[in-house]
Amino acid sequence: MTDHVEIGLNASIDSIPAADWDACACPEAAGGGRPVDPFTTHRFLSALEQSGSVGPGTGWQPRYLTARRAGRLIGVAPLFVKSHSQGEYVFDHNWAQAFEQAGGRYYPKLQIAVPFTPVTGRRFLTRLDEGPDAVAALVEGAVRIASDNDLSSLHVTFCTEAEAVAGEAMGLLRRTGQQFHWENRGYADFDAFLGDLSSRKRKTIRRERAQAAAFGGEILQLTGDQITPVHWDAFWTFYQDTGRRKWGQPYLTRAFFDLVKETMADDVLMVLALRDGRPIAGALNWIGRDTLFGRYWGCTEHHACLHFELCYYQAIDFAIAHGLRVEAGAQGEHKLARGYLPATTHSLHWIGNAGFREAVERYLTAEREAVDEEIDVLTSYGPFRRGPLQEDQD
C-alpha cells in the first residue's frame, strides 16, 4: 500500500499550508480547541524557523518530511539535518565519538524531533482518516533518505510508545529513558493533592512553599493578553541567564519569544515572581489539551525554594484548576519528592553501518533493563502514601 505514497522534503515549514500541516499534526484542534501537542503545530515550528532558532548556522537544518497520496497530504514529520547532537535530550555523543574514532563520519545525521523540546508526542503525524500504512510510508521514506545519502543514522526522539513499538517492528532500534511527570488524580485543590502524600513529604512541601512565599513579593500566573511586552522582556533576560549556564548560549533567539507572543500567547502560561512590581524570576509553560508542559525557567535574584514554587507547585496549582497533568521536562530526580513520578520515554534509531548497529543494539538492550530498574526503584521512593501505617512511619 505504501507504494502509492509519494515522499517529499521541504526546506521550510511555510512552504506547507498551515491547515494541511495541522490536519496531520493536530486534527483534534480542527474545531478551534487546543492541540494535544502544541510543539508539533505549524505555528510553533514556524516560530522556530522564522526566528532563526533553527536553520543556517544552528546545526538544525529543516527538511520537513511529507507523504502524499494522489496529491493529498496524508502525513508529515518534523525532520532536520543535524551537524551536532545539541538540543536533543536523548544523548548520542558517545555513539558519535565511537563511530568517528573507528574512522566513520557520524555527522550529518537525520533527526525527527521538535528542537530543544524533550516532550513526548507523535512524530509521524498523519490524518485521522489514514491507516498505519501512512506512518509506515513516513518511516520507510526517512530511512531511505538516510540510506540513499549515505548518512550514518536517523533518530526519532520522544516519540510515543505506540510509535516506538511500530518502529521496532519495522527494524529500527528502540531506546528508552525516563522523565518525571505529575499525574492528576482528580484533585479538587492543592491540599487534596497533599493529602495523598506521606506526612513527611507533605510537611516538606508546605515548608518549601512558605519559604518561597517569603521572598518579599507576589506570584502571578499569566496567559494570553495578560502577558505584556514588559513580561516577555523580563522572561528573555531569565532565559538568557539559564541558557548560558546550561548550554553556553541560549538555543532560542529573542525573535522566537516575539513570535510566540504574536501567534501562541494563548498556548502558554507564564509564572512570574515580582518584587516591588519588578519581575525577578519566571517559568514558561506550554498548555496542551491534557497536559501542562514545563519548559523554561530563569531568575535575576535567588531566593530559597522559589524555583520549586514557580516551576513545580504553581504548575500543579494550574493543572488542578484546569484538569491537566504536568510534564516538567528533562532530568531532575529532585522532582520526585515534589510529587512527580518517573515515566518512560521512547526513541527510535536507524544505524547505517551493520557492525556499529549491532554494537548500539547490544548497548540499548542493556540500557533498557537499567532504565526499567531505575524507574522501579525511584517509584518505590515516591512521596505518596502506600498504606495506613505510612503516617506513623514518617
The conformational region for residue 72 under phi > 0 = left, psi -120 to 50 = alpha, else beta, is: beta
pLDDT of residue 265: 96
CA distance 14 to 47: 10
Selected residue with higher pLDDT from 3 and 15:
15
Cell of 305: 525554594
Q: Hey, how many other C-beta atoms are within 10 angstroms of the C-beta on 10? A: 16
Omega prior to 78 cis, within 30 of 0: no
Residue 376 has pLDDT above 50, yes or no: yes
- Partners of residue 268 on adjacent β-strands: 286
Has residue 226 got a pLDDT over 90?
yes
Mean pLDDT on 301-324: 97
C-alpha cell at 379: 517509584
Look up cell 547532537; give the residue: 85
Is the C-alpha dihedral spanning 265, 270, 276, 278 positive or negative? negative
Phi, psi of 320 (to 5 degrees): -65, -45
C-alpha span between 308 and 304 (Å, rounded): 9
pTM score:
0.94
Whether the pLDDT of residue 1 is over 50: the answer is no
Written as nine digits, the cell of 365 is: 538492550
Rounded (10°) CA dihedral 200, 198, 333, 45: -130
Rg (CA), the chain: 22
Q: Looking at 12-26, 200-214, 233-247, which range is the least confident one?
A: 233-247
Set of cell numbers at residue 127: 490524518
pLDDT digits (tens, 9 = 90+) for 53-72: 999 999 999 999 999 999 99
How many CB atoms lie under 10 A from the CB of residue 43? Answer: 18
The secondary element (H helix, E strand) that includes residue 278 is strand 278-287
For the chain, domains (ranges, CATH) are: 2-178+343-380 (3.40.630.30), 185-323 (3.40.630.30)
What mean pLDDT do residues 40-47 have?
98
Integer CA distances (angstroms), 364 to 191, 223, 331, in order: 41, 41, 19
DSSP single-letter state for residue 340: P
Beta strands 218-223 and 268-275 are antiparallel
Rounded to 5°, angle at Cα 141 from 81 and 157: 50
Closest CA to 154 of 9, 360, 349: 349
| Sequence-separated (6 or more) residues with CB below 8 Å from residue 325 | 181, 182, 183, 184, 290, 291, 292, 319
Q: Which pLDDT score is estimated for 330? A: 77
pLDDT of residue 3: 55
DSSP state of 310: I
> Nearest-CA neighbor of 232 among 205, 200, 262?
262
